[in-house]
């Protein structure tokens, strides 16, 4: 199977200081991945975070698209509950006008930050309840496709520029609920396998495809899986590099502690101080990361693509220092050349 690789860039703050800002590093990485043949470059949305530096994907997308040549650029994703579907439709219609045929609009329901950030984003109103997410997603798609029903009060609204094509639409999720909604709405689906070590069964893909066909959408349902990946010269080196992010996930997901990334050596020393339960979680999380040499990563990625019946893979690589991250993506690019 010929693999199409996407970079999912959370604009991580490196543990090792760099002369460039994290978002400047995102731009530099994007230009390299464009030259290396990656299919897409998606940027994330986070708020009130000391670990991830990208709060406004629509702005970063515009910059990255302006300094790259071929790669599709998109959001992975816009956290839609914070925003008006109409405004998001206007933003991405304008992006598609500026960079025709190169813009992806990925949306998600997660807040991308803590409760305080959600309140500040909604001020002076209150945060939108995520129960509105399905309605927001359907309205967003209807605005972009000019399919608001005639009886709806928004039917006459125009999404300017109204003569441009529609950006490619994706819904991000990690469960069957999001998958079924993506199929019902008629969006492509990106399944997040990188959030934790928990297994996401293939039945999630089945739910997505069943919902798509039941809704009667034209065309073919399209999927991507997003996974953590670290590629290095040896399996041992890749495992060592990955330990920084793995330890961070243990502390963040099990204890709510979101500290700066430790160096790989520090992370392994700190692992020894963890409880047996946390050490087991560390090992499970590491096992969920695709890591090793180019050949080993190729084998693992192909196995995942076969399991989930897709040829599109989104790669999330978070490392202690930027140079190691860049090198991992350079190595993985060999899988598409």
- Tally of domains in the chain: 1
What CA–CA distance (Å, rounded) separates 71 from 192? 21
Region 163-168: what's the mean pLDDT? 87
What CA–CA distance (Å, rounded) separates 219 from 192? 23
What CA–CA distance (Å, rounded) separates 311 from 42? 17
Q: How confident is the model at residue 337 (pLDDT cuts 50, 70, 90)?
A: low
Answer whether residue 311 is part of any domain: yes
- pLDDT recorded at residue 1: 62
Which range of residues forms the domain containing residue 95? 4-234+292-336
Answer whether residue 67 is part of any domain: yes
Answer whether residue 241 is part of any domain: no
Answer whether residue 61 is part of any domain: yes
Residue with tokens 């129960």: 131
- pLDDT recorded at residue 335: 87
- pLDDT recorded at residue 130: 64
Answer whether residue 126 is part of any domain: yes
Cis peptide before 88 (omega within 30 of 0): no
Answer whether residue 281 is part of any domain: no
- pLDDT recorded at residue 91: 97
User: What rounded mean pLDDT belongs to the chain?
Assistant: 95
Read off the CATH number of the domain in which 184 is found.
3.20.20.30
- pLDDT recorded at residue 175: 85
């Amino acid at each position: 199977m010929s693999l199409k690789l996407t970079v999912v860039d959370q604009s991580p703050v490196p543990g090792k200081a760099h002369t460039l800002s994290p978002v400047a590093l995102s731009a530099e990485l994007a230009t390299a991945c464009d030259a290396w043949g990656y299919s897409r470059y998606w940027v994330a949305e986070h708020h009130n975070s000391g670990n991830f530096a990208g709060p406004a994907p629509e702005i970063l997308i515009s910059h990255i698209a302006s300094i790259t040549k071929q790669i599709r650029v998109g959001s992975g994703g816009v956290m839609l509950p914070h925003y008006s579907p109409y405004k998001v439709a206007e933003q991405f219609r304008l992006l598609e006008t500026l960079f025709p045929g190169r813009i992806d609009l990925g949306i998600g329901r997660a807040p991308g930050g803590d409760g305080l950030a959600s309140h500040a984003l909604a001020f002076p109103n209150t945060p939108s309840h995520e129960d509105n997410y399905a309605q927001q997603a359907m309205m967003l798609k209807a605005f972009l496709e000019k399919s608001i029903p005639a009886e709806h009060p928004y039917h006459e609204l125009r999404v300017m520029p109204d003569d441009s094509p529609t950006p490619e639409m994706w819904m991000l999720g990690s469960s069957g609920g999001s998958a079924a909604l993506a199929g019902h709405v008629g969006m492509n689906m990106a399944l997040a396998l990188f959030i934790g070590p928990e297994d996401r069964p293939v039945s999630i893909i089945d739910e997505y495809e069943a919902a798509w066909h039941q809704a009667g959408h034209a065309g073919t349902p399209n999927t991507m899986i997003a996974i953590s990946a670290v590629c290095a010269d040896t399996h041992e080196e890749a495992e060592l590099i990955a330990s920084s992010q793995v330890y961070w996930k243990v502390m963040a997901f099990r204890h709510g502690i979101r500290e700066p990334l430790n160096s790989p050596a520090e992370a392994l020393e700190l692992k020894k101080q963890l409880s047996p339960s946390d050490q087991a979680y560390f090992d499970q999380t590491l096992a969920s990361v695709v890591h090793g040499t180019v050949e080993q990563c190729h084998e693992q990625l192909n196995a995942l693509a076969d399991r989930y019946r897709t040829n599109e893979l989104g790669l999330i690589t978070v490392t202690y220092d930027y140079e190691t991250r860049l090198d991992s993506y350079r190595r993985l690019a060999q899988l598409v050349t």
